[in-house]
Amino acid sequence: MRLSATPSRSLRLLPLQHKRFQTTKTFEPSIVDKHVEEPALTEKKEQLENIILGRPAEGHEEETRLQTIRDKLDLLAELNKTTKGEFQQLLNSAPKPTLHRDEIVLSKFKKLFKTYMERDKIDRQFTSSSSLLSQFPNLVPTPITEPYSKAELTIRQKHHESTSGSLGSVIKNVYKPHELITNPPRPNEVTVQKLMAAGCHLGHSTKLWKHSTQQFIYGEYKDIHIIDLDQTINYLKRAANIVTGVVENGGSVLFLGLKQGQLRSVQTAAKRCNGYYVTNRWVPGTITNSVDNPRPRHEIDMGDLPTGRKLNQGEEKMVVKPDLMVVLNPLDGKVAISEANQARVPTIGLIDTNCDPDSVTYGIPCNDDSVRATNLICGVLGRAGEIGLQRRLAKVEAYKKSLGLSSTEPLNMEGLEEDAPGEFI
C-alpha cells in the first residue's frame, strides 16, 4: 500500500469516532488488557517509534546522522511494501482500551505521513552525505547535537570558497575618472545613462534661469532646472560631426578650458586631433591682435608634415587663426567667444540654463560647472577629431601611393596640379 496526500484517503485510514473505542470508565494501568502481537510486527513497531521520535537504539547512543538517514530510507521502503491490512494493524497496535487512544493514533500517523512527504529531502541528504564521505573516507561525522569538528569546519570552508568565495571580487560599473580622458566614448556610443552619471542633466537654480534656454529644459526639481538629455545627445552628435569634418579637411581646432581640473582633458583632446588648447587664462587679443604680435610660422602639407618651403613676405604677415573653437565654459570665456565672432571663427560651447544659446555657433545643452561632465563632452569631441584626422591621413597615404611617394616624404604642391592622377583632397 502507498500513502496518499489526499485528505479523504488519509481520513479513511484513521479509526476515529468509532463506537467500539468509546468508554466512560477510567482504567488503571494495572487492569489494562494485554494485547498479544506478533513478534515481527512488534519489532517493526519499535523501530518505527525509535526512528520517528529520534530515540537511539540500545547500545547505540552515539548514532550518527548518516545512520539515521539510512534508517528513514529503509522505513520508506518498508512502508511501500506494507499491505493495507498490515498498516491498519500497525495503527491499531496501541494497547486497548486506553485513554486518548485516538490522539495517539493521530499523532503517529502525522509523524509517519510527514516522514513520507519528506522522502525527497531525505534522499538529497543521503546523497550529499555519501558524496562527502566518498571524497573524505577518513572523516568521522559528528552527531547533530554536537558542534562541527575542526576537520568538518575546514571542509566547509573549502566548499564555501569553491562555490561562493569569488562573489564580490569582480568589480563592475565603477566610475574611473581617468577613463573619460584616456579612453572617451565615441559619438555614437554616448547614452543617456553616461550623461546622467556625469551630471550633465543638472542645471542652475531657477532664479538664474536664462529664458532663451526654455527649449533645452526637461523639468524642475527642488528649484533646480533639469536639462533634457535627449536633446543633449542630438546636439553633441551634431557638434562631433562638425569637428570631424573640420579636421578631415585639414582645419585646426582650438580647445578652451579655463576652469580648474580641465587641463588634462583639454590637452589630451587637442593632441588627438593635432589641434591647440588654452587653459587657465585667455589673453585678450590673442586672435584679433595676432598681426601685431607675429610668431614664427612654417608651411605643412595635408599629412601634417613640414614642406620646408620658404614663405614670402605676404605669407609671413598672414593672419593665422583656428578654423573651429571649442569652449567648455562660455561665461568664463566670453572674451574669447567675442574675438572668435569678430574673426568669423565658428564656436562650439556648453550651454547651461544660465547661458545664452546665441552666444556660440553650435551649442550643446549641458552642465558646464561639473568637471566630470566637461571632461566627458571634451573627450567625445576629441575622439571625433581623431576620427577625422585618421580619415585625412588615410587619404593622404593613398594619394602619395598613387604618386609613388613614401609616407614620410612631404607633398610639394608646385607642379602637382598637372601631373596628379585624380582629384586631391
Q: Let me know whether 155 and 191 are in one domain.
A: no
User: What is the reported pLDDT for 405?
Assistant: 83
User: What is the reported pLDDT for 17?
Assistant: 41
> Which 3 state secondary structure label does DSSP give 262?
coil
Q: Let me know whether 241 and 149 are in one domain.
A: no
Alpha helices by DSSP H, listed for 276-332, are 313-316
Q: Let me know whether 148 and 86 are in one domain.
A: yes
User: What is the reported pLDDT for 83?
Assistant: 72
Q: Let me know whether 143 and 222 are in one domain.
A: no
User: What is the reported pLDDT for 236?
Assistant: 95
Confirm whether 341 is domain-assigned.
yes
Q: Let me know whether 359 and 268 are in one domain.
A: yes
Q: Name the domain count of the chain.
A: 2
Q: Could you list the residue range(s) of the whole structural domain that residue 14 is in?
A: 7-22+34-159
Break the chain down into helix, strand, coil percent, rounded to 5: 50, 10, 45
Q: Let me know whether 134 and 100 are in one domain.
A: yes
Whichever domain contains 381, its CATH number is: 3.40.50.10490
User: What is the reported pLDDT for 121?
Assistant: 60
Q: Let me know whether 224 and 128 are in one domain.
A: no
Confirm whether 28 is domain-assigned.
no
Confirm whether 169 is domain-assigned.
no
What does the DSSP assignment read for 318-367? Answer: -----SEEEES-TTTTHHHHHHHHHTT--EEEEE-TTS-GGGSSEEEE--
Confirm whether 171 is domain-assigned.
no
Identify the burial level of 98 via C-beta atoms within 10 angstroms of its C-beta, where 0-12 means exposed, 13-18 middle and 19 or more buried.
middle
User: What is the reported pLDDT for 9?
Assistant: 37
User: What is the reported pLDDT for 191?
Assistant: 93
For residue 219, give the C-alpha cell: 523639468
User: What is the reported pLDDT for 293?
Assistant: 58
Confirm whether 73 is domain-assigned.
yes
- The model carries a pTM of 0.59
With contact defined as beta carbons under 8 Å apart, do 47 and 78 qualify?
no
Q: Let me know whether 328 and 207 are in one domain.
A: yes
What does the DSSP assignment read for 35-93? Answer: ----HHHHHHHHHHHHHHHTPPPTT-TT--HHHHHHHHHHHHHHHHH--HHHHHHHHTT
For residue 17, give the C-alpha cell: 469516532
Positions of the chain with pLDDT under 70 = 1-66, 69, 79, 87, 90-101, 116-134, 291-294, 413-425
Confirm whether 420 is domain-assigned.
no
Q: Let me know whether 76 and 203 are in one domain.
A: no
User: What is the reported pLDDT for 359?
Assistant: 92
For residue 89, give the C-alpha cell: 494493524
For residue 230, give the C-alpha cell: 535627449
Specify which residues 155 forms β-bridges with: none
